[in-house]
Structure 1
Amino acid sequence: MAAQPQNLGSDVHMIDTAMSGYSGITAAYVILGSRPCLVETGTATSAQVVRQALAGLGVGADDLATIVVTHIHLDHAGGVGDLAAAFPRARVVVQDTGARHLADPSRLMASARRVFGPAMDALFGELLPTDAARIDTVGDVGSVDLGDGRRLEGYHTPGHARHHLGLVDTATGDLYVGDAAGLYIPPDDASSLTGLGSSGEMGQMLPGTPPPDFDLDLALESLARFRDLRPTRLLFSHYGPITEVDDALGRAAQEMRLWVSIVRAARTDQGGQFDLDHAVAMVRERTRERYADLLARPEVAAKFEELSSTAASVNGIARWLENEDKRLSEANGQG
């Protein structure tokens, strides 16, 4: 049975989308009011869970005004087609680079099937197309009307994905970070409103650096942009709220830099070549003590590994490093 939505205050409710049957791994958020808005859909296989949660909050088929996704990865936007059909009056909002893939998901789905193979259907399901006439796009900046003078301000924040948006609620200062700040894993005793444990512990943060779009420089610029927005709270799609904004953004940058440095060292060990198994082993070895609290919770570590595997993150970093090498080589050649 799906968990009940958590009331985070100011008409904001967090919905556990129960990805792959797990709790506490992927969140959607609904902002109630005169123009209810859903932020993130979860996977296609989660669409029914989200529909039921919205119904429990009094949001009927004709009530939802907007569906917004931070980016088009299938754990965030896989349910768009199903939910657009279930809520026929809702506009769908996405960063403009990703809009065509919601209208025609065939290339996105083919790519995902190559990556995930037989596990694809169980993990994500099928992203159904959305009528292009219902899709609104955000470029570098844009806004979503939440009614009664309240808005979501959207900001293009690439680095994790070229089609990524950060979203700020003008009424609360909440910042929906998507995956631009990586994954946040609350401590066991975290409260629903702060994300902190009873002792004030913040929990664990992990980088999300998958191919093909990861770019360290862009990712760090996006984190700096988040900081400049001066949010009051971060709402992670993976997973939940945290009030320690500056600490969390600082740690997100630190984790990215650390993993990049380890993968770079792994390439050096192999004479500049990339060996995935060697790089993954180095990351695990050099972060074992750092992530000891998480590794002491093997069931939690396992579900987040399924969502965002070490191998996928290492592959994304390796691809970026290879592209950086090419750029430097071309620049030196031109010089």
Structure 2
Amino acid sequence: MDNVTPLGGDVYEIDTRMAGYSGITAGYLILGDRPCLVETGTSTSAPVVRDALSSLGVGPDDLATVVVTHIHLDHAGGVGDIANYYPSAEIVVHEKGARHLADPSRLMASAKMVWGDKLDVLFGTLAPTDAARIRALGDTGTIDLGNGRTLASHYSPGHAKHHVGLLDSLTGDLYVGDAAGVYLPETGDLRPATPPPDFDLDVALGSIALFTALKPQRLLFSHYGPVEDVPSTLERSAEELRIWVDLTKRARAEGLDLDHAVAMVRDRTRERYAALRADEATAEQFELLSGAPSNVAGIMHWLDRAPR
């Protein structure tokens, strides 16, 4: 299938075709004795993911585990649908997100407030998952991939309070979710992901430091794809966070409202990103991946809670 890319080590990147776009959200299948899907994508992506798994020989009773880095709808919106497709799979999530997968009503209500009419088009509806099938992770945990291979889970908040990074014992791949920002392979751009309500700069920087200490061989971004230059990429992740926070602080100090703060930050960071100087489709894709309004709103929310 044209949306499946082998990455070596029995790992396959799946373009979930979020909202019909390519290159927005990746899921990853780790094949082996106990096949594991990392990230489901959105609810509307679930049939795309199912077809990709089928093309790789994974049938309804073959998938052992579904694990999500966090419960935002672009990563976990398809959990309920995927759980229905694969009745033998255990669903693994951090303990702070588990109840929202069992009963998504509050999560969907808050998403509706943020996204309004765009919600159905971008994400669809997260279906509930039987609580008995959900395994809640603490600050660390282990997922059995078979033959002694494991995914080690490491709590990594800052982007979201229910976020984990996942380290593959065989390949050294680290599934970073959104904790290291979003990466655009076409241009090599890296930009932070700092949405409300959970963003916290100090906590986010701590998670990036944890990722560095884990010494992964490769970073697998949910947005989007593999990156092999690990140390400098994580350094850039931290630098991007600091730049966006400093600029938002400046806008706040000048008394700008949110719209004007977004405009200022967008203007002053524009030169950092080749994507915004590329064709219109690439620029649009980058804004979908890491929108300036969401980023600035999240930083503002953090500044309001923790005056500096």
Shared fold by TM > 0.5? yes
Match of 1:212? 197
Cα distance in 1 between the residues matched to 2:159 and 2:277: 24
Q: What is the letter of the counterpart of residue 297 of structure 2?
A: N
1:99-148 CA deviation, whole Å, 9 max, x = no partner?
00000000000000011001110100000000000000111100100000
Match of 2:267? 285
Q: TM-score w.r.t. structure 2 length? A: 0.98
Q: Say which of 242, 250, 253 aligns to 1:257.
A: 242
Q: Say which of 216, 221, 236 aligns to 1:236.
A: 221
Deviation at 1:303, TM superposition (A): 2.0
Cα distance in 2 between the residues matched to 1:98 and 1:22: 27
Cα distance in 1 between the residues matched to 2:143 and 2:248: 39
Deviation at 1:187, TM superposition (A): 2.6
Cα distance in 1 between the residues matched to 2:28 and 2:224: 11
Cα distance in 2 between the residues matched to 1:286 and 1:26: 27
Q: What is the letter of the counterpart of residue 243 of structure 1?
A: E
Cα distance in 2 between the residues matched to 1:279 and 1:159: 21
Deviation at 1:269, TM superposition (A): 1.0
1:295 aligns with 2:277: yes
Deviation at 1:284, TM superposition (A): 1.4
Q: Say which of 293, 299, 306 aligns to 1:311.
A: 293
Deviation at 1:42, TM superposition (A): 0.2
Provide the alpha-carbon RMSD of the alignment: 1.1
Cα distance in 2 between the residues matched to 1:307 and 1:252: 15
Number of equivalent positions: 308
What fraction of aligned residue pairs are identical, expressed as a percent? Answer: 62
Contact 1:175 1:235 in 2 (8 A): yes
Deviation at 1:300, TM superposition (A): 1.5
Q: What is the letter of the counterpart of residue 258 of structure 1?
A: I
Q: What is the letter of the counterpart of residue 116 of structure 2?
A: G
Match of 2:134? 135
Q: Say which of 211, 222, 236 aligns to 1:226.
A: 211
- In our comparison, the structure showing a higher alpha carbon Rg is 1
Cα distance in 2 between the residues matched to 1:225 and 1:306: 27
Q: What is the letter of the counterpart of residue 198 of structure 2?
A: D
Deviation at 1:301, TM superposition (A): 1.8
Match of 1:196? none
Match of 1:45? 44
Q: What is the letter of the counterpart of residue 54 of structure 1?
A: L
Match of 1:332? none
Contact 1:43 1:78 in 2 (8 A): yes
Q: How does 1:267-286 map to 2 (within 5 A)?
A: 267-270=252-255, 274-286=256-268
Contact 2:223 2:289 in 1 (8 A): no
Change (3 A) 1:121 1:293: closer
Task: Give the secondary-structure state (helix, strand or coil) at the position aligned to 2:283.
Answer: helix
Q: What is the letter of the counterpart of residue 211 of structure 2?
A: F
Cα distance in 1 between the residues matched to 2:73 and 2:282: 21
Cα distance in 1 between the residues matched to 2:274 and 2:128: 42
Task: Give the secondary-structure state (helix, strand or coil) at the position aligned to 1:146.
Answer: strand
Deviation at 1:293, TM superposition (A): 4.6
Q: What is the letter of the counterpart of residue 296 of structure 1?
A: A
Contact 2:175 2:221 in 1 (8 A): yes
Match of 1:59? 58
Task: Give the secondary-structure state (helix, strand or coil) at the position aligned to 1:142.
Answer: strand
Match of 2:33? 34
Q: What is the letter of the counterpart of residue 205 of structure 1?
A: L
1:5-54 CA deviation, whole Å, 9 max, x = no partner?
10000100000000010001110000000000000000000000000000
Deviation at 1:297, TM superposition (A): 3.1
Cα distance in 2 between the residues matched to 1:4 and 1:96: 31
Contact 1:204 1:294 in 2 (8 A): no
Cα distance in 2 between the residues matched to 1:323 and 1:293: 32
Contact 1:30 1:39 in 2 (8 A): yes
Cα distance in 2 between the residues matched to 1:308 and 1:45: 20
1:156 aligns with 2:155: yes
Cα distance in 1 between the residues matched to 2:146 and 2:160: 29
Cα distance in 2 between the residues matched to 1:222 and 1:119: 31
Cα distance in 1 between the residues matched to 2:110 and 2:196: 11
Cα distance in 2 between the residues matched to 1:245 and 1:212: 28
Deviation at 1:298, TM superposition (A): 2.3
Cα distance in 2 between the residues matched to 1:159 and 1:254: 15
Structure 2 alignment gaps of length 5 or more: none
Deviation at 1:309, TM superposition (A): 1.6
Cα distance in 2 between the residues matched to 1:128 and 1:107: 12
Structure 1 alignment gaps of length 5 or more: 189-202, 329-335
**Residue range with higher mean Cα deviation, 305-314 or 114-123:** 305-314
